[in-house]
Amino acid sequence: MIFGYARVSKNDQNLDRQLDQLKQAGCNRIYQEKMTGTKKERPELTRMMDSLREGDTIIVCELTRLSRSVKDLFELVERINEIGADIKSLKEPWLDTTTPHGRLLFSVFSGVSQFERDIIRERTLEGISAARARGRKGGRPKIDPKTVKLALDLYDSRACSVDNILRTTGISRATLYSYIKNRKTL
């Protein structure tokens, strides 16, 4: 079975161009949605992935319709690959796992992407190690317990507004509410 996936980011945008291209490409079933690609939960994409079987093919007009990040794209293509299905982009000919050439190109790009992630991780760990060697511990600076106690006392007294408490103590709203919620003993 050949599935198509079409997506636009806003409700007032039109899917017609993508639908025409996917029909022309021979899609038997087209999943379509109007939702931003930055959302991880896209119901139609999930439905399509759930109905995908070995030997099926997914066609998209362009990769930006399927994913907004390279990491997300590679994870999605890997899931499709694990099922034994293929994916093809009409706009980006290098992503066509239905051909040996396309599988090779995707493997190369995937390897480069993994290499980049590994290098970033390695540099981050080196940076943390170098900072620790210089005596830096990292993380957020600790708030003086006396300041937190003052903020909680002011809050409990109801004598000051939250904005006044924040200005007086210099702590953030999120921190104040976190301490109120957890009532850490000082």
Q: pLDDT tens digits for 36-68?
A: 766 678 899 999 999 999 999 999 999 888 887
pLDDT > 60? residue 112:
yes
Which pLDDT belongs to residue 185? Answer: 54
CB contact at 8 A, 39 and 69: no
pTM score of the predicted model: 0.60
Residue 69 a catalytic site member:
no
CATH number assigned to the domain with residue range 2-113, chosen from the 4 options 3.90.1640.10, 3.40.50.1390, 3.40.50.1000, 3.20.20.100: 3.40.50.1390
Q: How far is CA 167 from CA 146, 158, 164, in A?
A: 15, 15, 5
For the chain, the structural domain boundaries read: 2-113, 145-183
* b/e 58-81 (16+ beta carbons within 10 angstroms → b): bbbbebebbbeeeeebbebbeebb
Exactly one of 9, 107, 157, 178 is catalytic; which is it?
Answer: 9
Residue 2: its H or E element? strand 2-8
pLDDT > 60? residue 186:
no
